[in-house]
Amino acid sequence: MKVTDHIIKAKGETLFSFEIIPPVKGRNINELYNNIDPLMEFKPPFIDVTTSREEYVYIDRNGLLDKKLTRMRPGTVGICASIKHKYDVDTIPHVLCGGFTKEETEYLLVDCHYLGIDNIMALRGDAMKEEKYFEPSKGGHIYASDLVKQIHHLNTGQYLHEVIETDNCADFCIGVAGYPEKHMEAPSLKTDLKWLKKKVDEGAHYVVTQMFFDNNKYFEFVEAARAMDINVPIIPGIKPIAVKRHLHLLPQVFRIDLPQDLIDSVDSCKSNKEVRQVGIEWAIEQSKELKEAGVPVLHYYSMGKSDNIKAIAEAVF
Ligand SMILES: Cc1cc2nc3c(=O)[nH]c(=O)nc-3n(C[C@H](O)[C@H](O)[C@H](O)COP(=O)(O)OP(=O)(O)OC[C@H]3O[C@@H](n4cnc5c(N)ncnc54)[C@H](O)[C@@H]3O)c2cc1C
């Protein structure tokens, strides 16, 4: 079922959902299930599965280093299929521009259609670790809006190189990313919103936001988006702080601000166990206020660990 239909069906009740990352190559998928199991009692209508960018690894061959491009956490679509099958829940693969040609994207979308996947999260992807700026793949898309357009075309039977008359068209519901504190490369929030609007105009059906720790950032973002005629659901993304290092890492990686009260509370913790508790309590307060404001879904970034998300969900849902 489509995310937008889940929202309609909920009739104003806030839904619970979360995002997981595929395990590192070679790890057991049961580790993933062990983290999903405790969250299923909160009845997520859908679970997102991220896609990682490829990266360079150096393999020692008798003293000579061989540089190889590889994806450390492959398996997004396979994991979507296995979770969908195991838990009878909708799963949403994150599909990236970076690292894929348009043809590869088409084949991936065809796989998703055959697997009965109804939603796709369309993203550009970050720059690779070695790159200063995002470099599109040869024959790949530059912006997420181009990917949205490709998915929208597929929904109407327009494949890359042929138009196919069929009564079995894909009908993907398309999600895209939004940034309450603007995307790091955008010169201003207004310009970033202009490009968000392009994604919606090309066919995106809903937006999921980057994490934020001050709800006012989200409320102002939604207001600014509505003023620009972006009228699709805007789902807030929530990440609980889990370790002290996040105080520096999150602003550095995601270019977001942290409220001073949160910084002070984390700073005063004597162990990461205490930090984890502060993160849970902050996320509970954020979630309660957002729920009260009537957000359609609260979407949690689990980063592969579910104990803190479970504690938050217990307090909020
Ligand atoms: C909810 C969510 C989930 C995510 N999941 C993943 C994941 O699974 N894997 C992963 O690698 N990354 C993921 N990301 C990170 C995302 O890939 C990065 O933030 C990336 O840098 C931008 O992706 P985007 O889809 O927002 O790009 P875009 O919408 O293409 O925007 C990228 C930048 O270009 C600008 N821009 C857009 N269109 C144009 C245009 N036509 N002309 C000029 N400028 C333009 C925008 O303002 C922005 O600064 C996720 C982010 C979010 C918020």
How far is Cα 24 from Cα 72, in angstroms, rounded to an integer?
Answer: 6
User: 192 C-alpha to center of ligand 1: Å?
Assistant: 10
Q: Tell the residue number behind the tokens 């889990």, with chain if given.
A: 242
Please name which of 61, 17, 219, 198 lies closest in space to residue 124, comparing C-alpha atoms: 198
Query: What is the model's pLDDT at position 132?
Result: 87
Active site residues: 19
How far is Cα 121 from Cα 40, in angstroms, rounded to an integer?
Answer: 21
Q: Which residues pair with 234 in a beta bridge?
A: 207
Please state the atom number of ligand 1 nearest to the C-alpha of residue 210. Answer: 53
Residue 125 in contact with ligand 1 by CB distance below 6 A: yes
User: 11 C-alpha to center of ligand 1: Å?
Assistant: 30
Q: How many CB atoms lie within 10 A of CB 58?
A: 10
Written as six digits, the tokens of 278 are 């502060």
Residue pLDDT tens, the chain, 317 long: 999 999 999 999 999 999 999 999 999 999 999 999 999 999 999 999 999 999 888 888 888 899 998 999 999 999 999 999 999 999 999 999 999 999 999 999 999 999 999 999 999 999 998 888 999 999 999 999 999 999 999 999 999 999 988 889 999 999 999 999 999 999 999 999 999 999 999 999 999 999 999 999 999 999 999 999 999 999 999 999 999 999 999 999 999 999 999 999 999 999 999 999 999 999 999 999 999 999 999 999 988 789 999 999 999 99
Residue 177 in contact with ligand 1 by CB distance below 6 A: yes
List CB contacts of 19: < 8 A, sequence separation 6 or more. Answer: 47, 48, 49, 50, 237, 299, 300, 301, 302
Residue 183 in contact with ligand 1 by CB distance below 6 A: yes
Please state the atom number of ligand 1 nearest to the C-alpha of residue 185. Answer: 49
Residue 92 in contact with ligand 1 by CB distance below 6 A: no
Query: What is the model's pLDDT at position 239?
Result: 97
How far is Cα 29 from Cα 37, in angstroms, rounded to an integer?
Answer: 12
